[in-house]
Amino acid sequence: MKYLVTFFTLLLCAFTAQAQLDSLQQLPEVIVSDVKLRTHTAGISIQTITDNSIQKSRTSLTGLLQTNSLIYLRENGPGGVSSPSFRGTNAQQTAVVWNGINLNSQFTGQTDFNTISTKNYDNVSVRAGGGSVIYGSGAIGGSVHLENDISFGNEFTNKISTGYGSFNTQLISAKTNFSKTKWHFDAAVDYQNSDNDFEYLDTDQSNENGEFENVNFNVNVGYLLEASTKRTQLLKLYHNTYIGDRNFSGTLTAVSNDAYEDQNTRTLAVWERLGKRYDGTLRVAHIFEQFRFFDNTDNREFFSIGKSSRFLANYDATITIDSKKKLTLSGEYNTITADGSSIEDQSRTVGSLVALWKHTLTNRFSYELQARQETVSDFDSPFLLSVGADYSIPNSTNTFKNTFSLNASRNYRVPTFNDLFWQGPGATGNPDVLPETSLQAEVGHTFSTKGFTSNVRGYYIQTEDLIKWLPDNSGIWSPINIAETQHYGLEIGFNYDKQINEHHFTANAQYGYTIAEDEATGNQLTYVPKNKVIISLAHQYKWLHTFIENRFNGEVYTTTDNTAFVDNYIVSNIGVTANIILNKSNVMVITGRLNNVFNTNYQTIAFRPNPGRNFLIQTTFTF
């Protein structure tokens, strides 16, 4: 893996040589990669985590979302497998969407949040609630969106960042961003490794076999074909490669010598034509995922492997009927192949049609209707529907605004290749398994005024035909559509922003109350905390920025009969960032953070302790 870093570092040096040529600053027009995420939001709550938070967090998606969202992350320790529970749903019911493309694994149906490096994205957004009509399988509890922006202008900036932290954690990343009136180019590489050998607090054990390293590479290109008063046409290319090599650490009761390699690449090409009446977007993408699992990290001759390759093409046609009515029709075609040690050369084709209707009835009221139908080669896919509405009441002087929203949708999660075709030791896939479906509804209220927003949402989700792997009479594990669950809960959030002279204060607090029950037993689902609270405070004075992040996680049950649980915990992190402006175009940013300040001994998964107090220092040089 080290050769890759060297390679990309060299690549970047070639650009820095030209750094001084274009120092003119212009405000570029930012072109987002996923227009639907911004425009089709009726009745939905979207929280965008800013670049600022991304930069000061650990580089994994787990670290970012743990402290910035209400998603509960079940993490097998730092670097280990990490899966989300969003509104009490399971890991397969949260979609991860990269520049508009659903990334969830064809094998497991989920995304390991520790295999997503957040450093190279401009926006990370959390979209709560059902989104299967637009984003497809798995957007039941919600979805997490990773986006790269493309901008034209006259810009040339470079960033190099290095970091060092406890347990011999090393980070290095570099990014270059270059744009002209017709061109955009950015490339970034992000590498991290860690011995990750922290002590288990209150024991004489430590985290053995936990070391990991990974490299993440992005390149994004935009080219403006035409920019006239009649229409704009542009071409965009997005690429991301992630290569990870990690050992799977043991637990308090078991040692481990397992290891795991991930190799994922995603490439997306887009042709966009934007007009007054008609927008057309053609997207072609290739998504490749491969894993190799080693039983014994010291003997890598033996492993099991799985790889899948997916091609997709889709076309979105958006017709602007008048300033208040918009109709979008999309057609998409996917062809997926998967092969590996336990799946023999299987393939699937998926065709889908999506219709989105958005109507702004009055200044205050808008609604949307959305529908999706798919045809899948190996099972029947349900018809999906979503309705949403927003009603805003500004006061007479426009100093504050109340918005009421309502959304209801039917969503789904398709059986994975593992569910259908797995043929491995002690387990076999079930070709007759059906998609999981959910019906859900939510209501929300947002109050916003200068410097303050509050958000309250209540939701209800009912899922049917949940796929569970259970052993049959001869002890062979196989998936069946057995469980039904219901989820309901409340989410409350506050954001406060205040400028007093040269002091800038920000505060964010969120509380989630989650009930997620198996309908057969009435028991709370495992690893779903009933309560989660996050509170973060930040203060900026001139070049000095300080912050504190706190999170409280309620206890979680670890058995389906709710007899065993992992204790609740509070973890706090503090940090300081210094922005040292060297000259007009050269900025040095130094961030130091102390995680788990109070040395709390906590677990998100039973018998897998997390690190005690630990630090991370990062230096970023922009030029």
Contact residues for another protein, defined by CB under 8 A? 251, 253-255, 294-296, 299, 301-304, 344, 422-428, 468, 470-471, 473-476, 526, 558-561, 563-564, 605-608
In whole angstroms, the minimum distance from the beta carbon of 295 to another protein comes to: 4
The residue among 50 and 423 lying less far from another protein, judged by its C-beta, is 423
In whole angstroms, the minimum distance from the beta carbon of 197 to another protein comes to: 19
**Cβ neighbours of residue 349 under 8 Å, at least 6 residues apart?**
333, 334, 335, 336, 376, 377
The residue among 279 and 436 lying less far from another protein, judged by its C-beta, is 436
CB 104 within 8 A of CB 86: no
The sign one gets for the Cα dihedral 78, 79, 80, 82 is positive
Spatial separation of the C-alpha atoms in residues 64 and 125, rounded to whole Å: 11
In whole angstroms, the minimum distance from the beta carbon of 288 to another protein comes to: 23
In whole angstroms, the minimum distance from the beta carbon of 416 to another protein comes to: 16
In whole angstroms, the minimum distance from the beta carbon of 272 to another protein comes to: 45
- Residue with the two structure tokens 């059986």: 415
**Best CA proximity match to 536, nearest among 72, 67, 54:** 67
The residue among 283 and 608 lying less far from another protein, judged by its C-beta, is 608
The residue among 25 and 299 lying less far from another protein, judged by its C-beta, is 299
In whole angstroms, the minimum distance from the beta carbon of 55 to another protein comes to: 33
In whole angstroms, the minimum distance from the beta carbon of 568 to another protein comes to: 18
Spatial separation of the C-alpha atoms in residues 323 and 358, rounded to whole Å: 11
The tokens describing 456, both together, are 């309250």
Phi, then psi, of 67 in degrees rounded to 5: -95, -10
The residue among 161 and 526 lying less far from another protein, judged by its C-beta, is 526
Q: Is 156 exposed, middle or buried (0-12, 13-18, 19+ CB in 10 A)?
A: buried
In whole angstroms, the minimum distance from the beta carbon of 425 to another protein comes to: 4
Spatial separation of the C-alpha atoms in residues 350 and 348, rounded to whole Å: 7
490, 536, 577 from 544: Cα distances, Å: 36, 17, 6
**Best CA proximity match to 508, nearest among 118, 56, 144, 67:** 67
The residue among 342 and 577 lying less far from another protein, judged by its C-beta, is 342
The residue among 305 and 456 lying less far from another protein, judged by its C-beta, is 305
Spatial separation of the C-alpha atoms in residues 478 and 430, rounded to whole Å: 6
The residue among 226 and 295 lying less far from another protein, judged by its C-beta, is 295
The residue among 213 and 518 lying less far from another protein, judged by its C-beta, is 518
Spatial separation of the C-alpha atoms in residues 371 and 359, rounded to whole Å: 15
In whole angstroms, the minimum distance from the beta carbon of 88 to another protein comes to: 16
CB 579 within 8 A of CB 587: yes
In whole angstroms, the minimum distance from the beta carbon of 257 to another protein comes to: 9
Spatial separation of the C-alpha atoms in residues 365 and 362, rounded to whole Å: 5
- Residue with the two structure tokens 């398709």: 414
The residue among 470 and 570 lying less far from another protein, judged by its C-beta, is 470
The tokens describing 136, both together, are 């497809």
